[in-house]
Amino acid sequence: MFDQLFPNVPQYWTDFGQATIDTVIMTVFTMIVAGILGILLGVILLSTSENGLTPNRLIYVILDKIVDIGRAIPFIILLVAIIPFTRLLVGTSIGTAAVTVPIVVGTIPFFARMVQNSLMEVDSGVIEAARAMGTSSLGIIFRVYLKEGLVPILRDLNFTTISVIGLTAMAGIVGGGGLGNMAVQYGYQRGQNDVTFFALVLVLIFVFITQILGNFVIRLILHGRKL
């Protein structure tokens, strides 16, 4: 049955294995770097806004515009536009390592805005109570904002991870490695549609696993808070 549906896939088992590993590496690395920097940037945006803990219009306007511009640039254009920066960092503009650079750059502003919006939903009453108790701004960020906003941030992280998986697949158009590259180079360009479809199936499985794990962690935290 499998050989009938995917007659050309067995000859590429090794390539599919490496492509899957490359996709996982790109996704995990991106989410570690973009996750840390995105949360940091989101917190700074929140804190320096007009009603933030430490209002600073200049810093807020500059960062806000950078985030807006970063979110507005289509990924395929960003990928090409920062090739000099990519070469400076990794020494090449093709391959898994090279494509990871624009994926990280494109993900940071996207995730930062989501973090900012999620933290804005934290109950203002809790914040005022912390202030009344003499808690410092840094203390409010860690003990109130990040603690109360943990679940929304995890949801944002889960959603962003799925988006990053899509970006890794798109990067295959320019030889970025991963399952997207398998779909384009071995499937589309060689006219082997079953290879393209199998790469799609693996990407979808990856997405489903990510969604399931993310939801499991969120439910675990919510259950712990109820105890």
Give the number of domains in the chain.
Answer: 1
Residue 208 in any domain: the answer is yes
58-93: pLDDT as tens digits? 999 999 999 999 999 998 899 888 889 988 988 887
End-to-end CA distance of the chain: 49
Residue 36 in any domain: the answer is yes
Calculate the CA 86 to chain-centre distance: 18
What is the rounded radius of gyration, in angstroms, for the C-alpha atoms of the chain?
21
Domain that holds residue 112: 20-226
Q: Which amino acid is at 49?
A: S
Residue 7 in any domain: the answer is no
**What's the pTM value of the predicted model, to 2 decimals?**
0.90
Per-residue pLDDT tens digits of the chain, which is 227 residues long: 777 788 889 898 999 999 999 999 999 999 999 999 999 999 999 999 988 889 999 999 999 999 999 999 998 899 888 889 988 988 887 788 888 999 999 999 999 999 999 999 988 888 888 888 888 889 999 989 998 899 999 999 999 999 999 998 888 777 677 898 888 888 888 889 999 999 999 999 999 999 999 999 999 988 777 65
CATH code: domain of residue 128: 1.10.3720.10
Taking the CA atoms of 204, 209, 211 and 212 in sequence, report the sign of the dihedral they define. positive
Token pair for residue 163? 């988006």
Residue 3 in any domain: the answer is no
Report helix, strand or coil for 52.
coil
Give kind and range of the element (H or E) at residue 225.
helix 193-226
Residue 6 in any domain: the answer is no
